[in-house]
Structure 1
Amino acid sequence: MIELPYVLRHENICRLEGNRLLIGDRRVFPFEKRFEVCANVQEVARSLQAMVTQGGGPLEVALQTMILVTNQMQQGLLGHGFETLTDAAKLLIAARPTNTTMHRALSHLLAAVQPKQADLEELASALKQEVSSMLDGYDQLYHQMGRLGSSLIADRSVILTTCFAEHTFLLSLAYAKESGKEVRVLANETRPYLQGSRLTAVSLEEMDIEVNVITDGMGATFMEAGKVDAYMTAVDLLCMDGTVVNKVGTLANAIAARYASVPYYAFSISPDPSKQGRADVTMEMRPPQEVKRCMGSATTLDSIKALYPAFDSIPAQLVTALVTPKGILKPEEIQRNFS
């Protein structure tokens, strides 16, 4: 039986305890298994901005936060109007503007429960039921895409990845291993938060999949030397024209992969229908001081300036194929399959 590693289990991504939401603090994992405790939506939004959780984490956090808000509405701690929910959603969305999967999930949730807004008890019940249904649906998609992804992995493959590609990538490796394939992963550190070395590598070790940590600039060297069979990443945002938006550093490896004739496969649950291409995407710029520190230690002088674009835009022509719930698609097939 395939089991998810610690950081991807629902209760460790986030969980409700009374009038608080506990968010697994990925900034300190694996050295600490700590939870950020949030008592309201404002504190949750600040935690998302502070990168307490990243990647797919904000999606689940946002959905659970909406339950927290309805609970507080029932207790008279917040206003009873539907606008209280919509205001909460807006605050969460603004916390990570490039994460449009979270935006679309919250929009879907609000649309699903809006007919119940006249009765607070019905609204709260409908919202909790819808959140549960959505999370179950995502779990099914993760395994479905994991099986598809495993078909792209040959026996004795070496896979390069960037950042923490979460459920779909890890499940692809797990299903490949289950079928008898040997696989090894090169995980780049992913500065400045080191998601690759702290989350990806640790999760793979937990799953008994061989992994080597490399620095962010080493991927091209291994690809050019013929020591990488495929490059695989998550997708933070997929445009309708096949443009991929993912953690900064993804573009450099995608360019190197094309040069070295290494296929690049990206995992996406769905494109954002409001984003036709790169020009429609709000690219998040993180505070520059984050680049000047790593795991709490300064990496340069305070007087030195820095820049931190959080995401890369990867042109469709650099993407070999996208693993989606509708199959393994070429970038030019996204529009037709998701319209």
Structure 2
Amino acid sequence: MVELPYLLKKESICHRKDGLLYIGDRRVFPFEKRFEPCSTVEQVAAALKAMVTQGGGPLQVAFTTLRFISEKMRLGRLPYSYEELRRSVALLIGARPTNTTMRRAMLALLEELAPLFADGAGPDEFALKVDELVDEQELYYDETYHQMGRIGSTLIEDGDVILTTCFAEHTFLLSLAYAREEGKALSVLVNETRPYLQGSRLTYPCLQEMGIQAHLITDGMGAHYLAEGKITKYMTASDLVCMDGSVVNKVGTLSNAVACNYYKVPYYAFSISPDPTKLSSSEIVMEERSAEEVLHCLSLPTTLEGKALYPSFDIIEPSLVHGIVTPKGVLAPSSLARSFS
């Protein structure tokens, strides 16, 4: 049976207990399994901004926070009003503006919940409706993760050596698990992914837990192994995919995609929800992160005091992308708009 590793289980991403919301702190994983406690929506938003969780984590945090909000409204600890709900949702969305999957999911839920206030429903009825809608959304995403894992596994051939960047989470890891279940031998080269080391701290331990052969490499080594012919595929997640097939992902993705294009190795990006509101990369709101983060690694300084640069995300143009793995199948960048607009 295919199972998710500890880091991707819902309770490990976030959970509620004794009136608080706890977010699994990926900044200290795998050395610690620690949770960041939050007593307000403002604290949840601050935790998202501080990268306590990232990638697909904010979506699950947003779902759990909606339950958290409804519980506080039911108990009279938050004003029971549509304005308060809208304000809270705006805080979550604003914490991670490049994560448009979370934004669109939360706005859709907000739209479904709005009539309750107009119809005079009380906080108890509101809380029940929130639980019903969030249950539906969580089930949809759980099923879609596995569906995309099965689709992704069809791209993997026996003996593949797959390069990845950052932490591609559910869909990529499930693709590997389903491919292995089919009897395919495979291994993964994991970029460490500076400055947060998502590759070495998140992806690599998950692969070890799943029993998948993996080797950790530094961010500049991908082209070396491509030149030696040792990499057969490049697979990553995507923070955002536009309708023209442009992919947004962690900085460092672009350099590997360029090298893959040169050495004729296909690059596949996983996208659970390409954004129909973004026609091209010119419409993206890119998150700003502090360049100070480049001057440190695991909280230790890497050099003397000075200046650094840190573009958090790369935009990978469609010509560098062989295919985009979606719930509707593996699509060429040029066919995305027809399938999702």
Cα distance per residue 1:138-190 (max 9 Å; x no partner): 01000000001000000011000000000000000000000000000000000
2:29 maps to 1:29: yes
Cα shift at 1:114: 1.6
Cα shift at 1:18: 2.7
- Within 5 Å, which residues of 2 pair with 1:99-114? 99-114=99-114
CA–CA distance in 1 between the matches of 2:116 and 2:225? 56
Q: Which amino acid aligns with 2:167?
A: F
**Corresponding residue to 1:233 among 236, 239, 244:** 236
| Residue in 2 that maps onto 1:244 | 247
Q: Which amino acid aligns with 1:306?
A: A
CA–CA distance in 1 between the matches of 2:57 and 2:260? 28
CA–CA distance in 2 between the matches of 1:77 and 1:4? 35
In structure 1, runs of 5+ residues without a counterpart are none
Q: Which amino acid aligns with 1:311?
A: F
| Residue in 2 that maps onto 1:326 | 328
Q: Which amino acid aligns with 1:102?
A: M
CA–CA distance in 1 between the matches of 2:288 and 2:227? 31
- Within 5 Å, which residues of 2 pair with 1:259-298? 259-298=262-301
Q: Which amino acid aligns with 1:128?
A: D
| Residue in 2 that maps onto 1:98 | 98
| Residue in 2 that maps onto 1:78 | 78
CA–CA distance in 1 between the matches of 2:297 and 2:132? 40
| Residue in 2 that maps onto 1:139 | 142
2:67 maps to 1:49: no
Cα shift at 1:257: 0.5
8 A contact 1:55–1:236 mirrored in 2: yes
| Residue in 2 that maps onto 1:68 | 68
TM-score where L is the length of structure 1: 0.98
Runs of 4+ in 1 over 4 A off after TM superposition: none
| Residue in 2 that maps onto 1:115 | 115
For this pair of structures, how many residues does the alignment match? 338
Cα distance per residue 1:178-235 (max 9 Å; x no partner): 0000000000000111110111010001000000000011111111211100000001
TM-score where L is the length of structure 2: 0.98
Cα shift at 1:70: 1.2
Aligned-CA RMSD value: 0.8
Range with greater deviation from structure 2 (70-79 or 240-249): 70-79
| Residue in 1 that maps onto 2:192 | 189
Give the secondary structure class of the aligned counterpart of 1:212.
Answer: strand
Cα shift at 1:19: 1.2
In structure 2, runs of 5+ residues without a counterpart are none
Give the secondary structure class of the aligned counterpart of 2:129.
Answer: helix
Cα shift at 1:112: 1.7
Cα distance per residue 1:272-312 (max 9 Å; x no partner): 1111101000111201111111111001112x111211111
| Residue in 1 that maps onto 2:258 | 255
Cα distance per residue 1:87-132 (max 9 Å; x no partner): 0111111111111111011011111222222312222211111111
| Residue in 1 that maps onto 2:316 | 314
8 A contact 1:204–1:210 mirrored in 2: yes
CA–CA distance in 2 between the matches of 1:81 and 1:141? 33
Give the secondary structure class of the aligned counterpart of 1:187.
Answer: strand
CA–CA distance in 2 between the matches of 1:102 and 1:71? 21
Give the secondary structure class of the aligned counterpart of 2:106.
Answer: helix
CA–CA distance in 1 between the matches of 2:84 and 2:311? 32
Cα shift at 1:3: 1.0
8 A contact 1:156–1:181 mirrored in 2: yes
**Corresponding residue to 2:174 among 171, 176, 179:** 171
| Residue in 1 that maps onto 2:151 | 148
CA–CA distance in 1 between the matches of 2:82 and 2:15? 24
2:167 maps to 1:160: no
Cα distance per residue 1:225-275 (max 9 Å; x no partner): 111000000010010111000111101110010001000001001211111
Cα shift at 1:336: 0.2
8 A contact 1:283–1:309 mirrored in 2: no
Range with greater deviation from structure 2 (240-249 or 113-122): 113-122
Cα distance per residue 1:69-89 (max 9 Å; x no partner): 111111111111111111011
